[in-house]
Structure 1
Amino acid sequence: MRASTVADASPLTTTDVARIQRRIVWVLSIGQVLGGLAFGATVSLGAVLAAELSGDDAFSGLAAAAITLGTAALAVPFAAFARARGRRPSLALGMTIALAGVVLVVLSVGIGSFPLLLVSFGLVGAGQAVNLQTRFAAADLATDATRGRDLSLTVWATTIGAVLGPNLVGPGEALGEAVGMPPLTGPYLFTVVAQILGIALYLVALRPDPLRLAQQLAARSAAEVGARIAKPDEPTVARFAIFAVAAAHGVMVSVMAMTPVHLMHHGASLSVVGTTISLHIAGMFALAPVFGILADRLGRVQTILVGQALLVAALVTASFGQESMLAVTVALVLLGLGWSASTVAGSTLLTEASAEEQRTRRQGRSDLVMSLVGALGAIGSGMVLSWIGYGGLALLVGVLVVATVALSPFGRRLAPAVG
């Protein structure tokens, strides 16, 4: 079976692979739009539904926590499944599980079950897990010269869904009321449609499977020329990449999660809070291609360090400008930009520092660590805020930035083996 798949890949030229890669990036980007659309509409009402069903606003944050834990729990299994069966079935399965979670969310509201609601949101986390995996799928067939750009384009596509999703809440609620759905669940009609379209897209259009084809091409290359041109596996570099991505995510989530609370304590309206978070999300995704191109041209570690500089600027601005709504907004934009640079460059570095047989396993591990650090940051930041305030929180999480910069020499890659 292995020999036949290698033989099937042999007629492909470099030009053929580049053409396939361009189409795959387009398919993955459209899938990210649909996934982001579904996820944005789901998360925007999660806290409200949790508070309604539990009867206590203190439990409103458990919806987001359940999604995050679901994402963390499924990241490694989905990576292993992709390794064994390919990206196409892995991405489609994740979106199918998320679709089941959305249906159960509506059911749990209909029967008034808070425990079922949390389980449902945990399943919704499968959608976020495959959204994270998509950026790695975009790098499966990419070359060293374009890997950062290709990966970043799928990250950028998330912007569209993330912005549109919450804006469908009003129309969705009206539509849900018209068809007799439980209160506050109407927007999930759009989520269901987006999930179904995403599943169909991956099953039909993600051909050839990028990971399977990459595996076939790697096996063919090894059979033809042996290990002379094989890139070495660099576990130390990979570990640094995982740390850099997780640390940037922890910094971003810790400060971002407490910003609405901080602003409202200083008299900001909900519209001001919403605008600030929207600008932050724009910073996270809108310039991802710029950082992808920068990673390709300047270097992976250098771009990670650019991200750390942006995070330092964000944390200093947030700390010393915490009394100014404008300063906090600027800080949140810088925070998003720093996250974007670090995530794009770190994910690119992780992919190319890992030998083919280690790659998907480490990618899943990276998503697991990233999700867990984000969850800890969201939970711990509330306690830190009550202890030393918003400015103190911003300075405290800067420890992660310092650690990333200090460890950056471990991210320097070796030259490929040339025999």
Structure 2
Amino acid sequence: MRAETPPGWLALPGVARARRRTTATLVAAQVLGSLGIGAAPSVGVLLAEQVTDSETWAGVARAATTVGAALLALPLAGLAGRSGRRGALATGWLGAAAGAALLVASAVADSVPLLVLGMLLMGAGAAAQLQARFAATDLAAPAHRARSLALVVWVGTLGAVIGPNLGVPGQAVEARAGLPPLAGAFAIGAVLLALTGAVVLAGLRPDPLLLAQRHADDAGSVTGPPVPGRNGLARAARAVRAAPPARFALLSLVLAHVSMVSVMTMTPVHLAHHGATISLVGLTISLHVLGMFALAPVVGVAADRYGRVPVILAGQVVLAAAAVVGAAGAGSAAAVAAALTLLGLGWSVVTVPASALLSQSVPAPARPLVQGMGDATMNAAAAMGAIASGPVMALVGFPALAAAAGLVVVPVLLAARRL
């Protein structure tokens, strides 16, 4: 693919100021927002079991956040395309704040419908968190898009590591406010998420996407008219089908996400069956999260310097290594922790360059919808992978699950050869 030439408008003083303001706003929002939604996968699981008193309904509630992120990604992207990033991201974060408040209400009322609805709305925060990485590229120079995207991914590390532990300060809130157990973490989350929405509304001025769209001479983007079609998903799909690099990027994104989520979901169960302590399980997941986010800026620099496709292929090597270590060392807690760390790193090495490649490979008018379709597809595939991973492990065991997750590299390598 030819190198992109930076358009002159990106060097304008007003655009440079807007770029710095956008980056600072997105960084602050990602830290606050990731903290706010961080309790969902940890405290949310316990709350689901407490409220439902049923493994079946608890499973539905646990998957609801991922389902919500998948359902809301495309509408938020459509809103961004029409009204800009500011309204779309603020809507996502404020929707998640409402979801956290509903989770508090579900604990108070012991209500399953409120629980499921609250978890679904928490998915709006997850969708906004993903969309923010694309917002970071709206005003970035073509040569720096991947590193700008990676910075926003990276700052989410803080919330991803600390957010699941909101249950501890939540206990103090419960004691002071008279709330039932597990409600305090989501009361804190509701405040943090509302603050995130306020930061976005105040900080994303001018709106980065609208500012970029006003400069029709954007020579650093793939230009072209809007892709025909009334339905947003159909328009996005047509744009992706028309661009082989976009098809390759979307395939890479989805399969890396399925591989990561499928194995990560069942790792705590596998370790517990082998006598691992809660502390060891927590350490393993923390190492996995660090693998996902800690080196994202390095990956972004590499993608800008060496190209998106070579870095995506390097990620396939890391994912394959994770599968080998996980399958061969399933009986060792240390080997499983190493495999999960490699899995998180492989996800990062694929996701950062593939997101940048997807964004730059389609016409600018269709870009927000394509980005939303990519996020929606990732989350839908992740939900199916999480649901299927339990039966797969029950039938063939964790080593086979790890090996099967490694097979996702095959379609990507074949697609790269055709590309």
Same fold (TM over 0.5): yes
The 5 A counterparts of 1:121-140 are 121-140=119-138
The 5 A counterparts of 1:30-45 are 30-45=28-43
Matched, 1:268 2:266: no
**CA-to-aligned-CA distance 1:51-99 (integer Å, 9 cap, x gap):** 1111124443322310111111111000000000000011011111111
Q: Distance in 2 between matches of 1:228 and 1:39?
A: 35
2:107 aligns with 109
Q: Distance in 2 between matches of 1:54 and 1:344?
A: 37
1:416 aligns with none
Unaligned runs of 5+ in 2: 1-7, 225-238
Q: Distance in 2 between matches of 1:162 and 1:137?
A: 20
Relative to structure 1, the CA distance from residue 409 to residue 56 in structure 2 (aligned partners, 3 Å threshold; closer, same or farther) is same
Relative to structure 1, the CA distance from residue 132 to residue 186 in structure 2 (aligned partners, 3 Å threshold; closer, same or farther) is same
Q: Distance in 1 between matches of 2:155 and 2:179?
A: 31
Structure 1 stretches of at least 4 aligned residues deviating more than 6 Å after TM superposition: none
Shift of 1:370: 0.1
Q: Distance in 1 between matches of 2:18 and 2:402?
A: 44
1:187 aligns with 185
> 1:181 is paired with a residue of what secondary structure?
coil
The 5 A counterparts of 1:276-295 are 276-295=284-303
2:380 aligns with 372
1:199 aligns with 197
Aligned pair partner of 2:322 in 314, 324, 331: 314
Counterpart residue type for residue 112 of structure 2: F
Give % identity: 47
Matched, 1:399 2:407: yes
Counterpart residue type for residue 163 of structure 2: G
Equivalent pairs counted in the alignment come to 397
**CA-to-aligned-CA distance 1:2-40 (integer Å, 9 cap, x gap):** xxxxxxxx9874454344323312211111111110011
Relative to structure 1, the CA distance from residue 142 to residue 323 in structure 2 (aligned partners, 3 Å threshold; closer, same or farther) is same
Relative to structure 1, the CA distance from residue 51 to residue 12 in structure 2 (aligned partners, 3 Å threshold; closer, same or farther) is closer
Relative to structure 1, the CA distance from residue 230 to residue 322 in structure 2 (aligned partners, 3 Å threshold; closer, same or farther) is closer
Q: Is the 8 A contact 1:246 1:370 kept in 2?
A: yes
Q: Distance in 2 between matches of 1:273 and 1:149?
A: 32
Unaligned runs of 5+ in 1: 1-9, 412-419
Q: CA RMSD in A?
A: 2.0
Aligned pair partner of 2:393 in 374, 385, 393: 385
Q: Is the 8 A contact 1:240 1:410 kept in 2?
A: no
Matched, 1:343 2:351: yes
2:249 aligns with 241
Q: Is the 8 A contact 2:221 2:360 kept in 1?
A: no
Relative to structure 1, the CA distance from residue 116 to residue 158 in structure 2 (aligned partners, 3 Å threshold; closer, same or farther) is same
1:214 aligns with 212
Matched, 1:302 2:310: yes
Q: Distance in 2 between matches of 1:39 and 1:82?
A: 21
1:5 aligns with none
**CA-to-aligned-CA distance 1:137-177 (integer Å, 9 cap, x gap):** 00111122100000000000110111121222111112222
2:156 aligns with 158
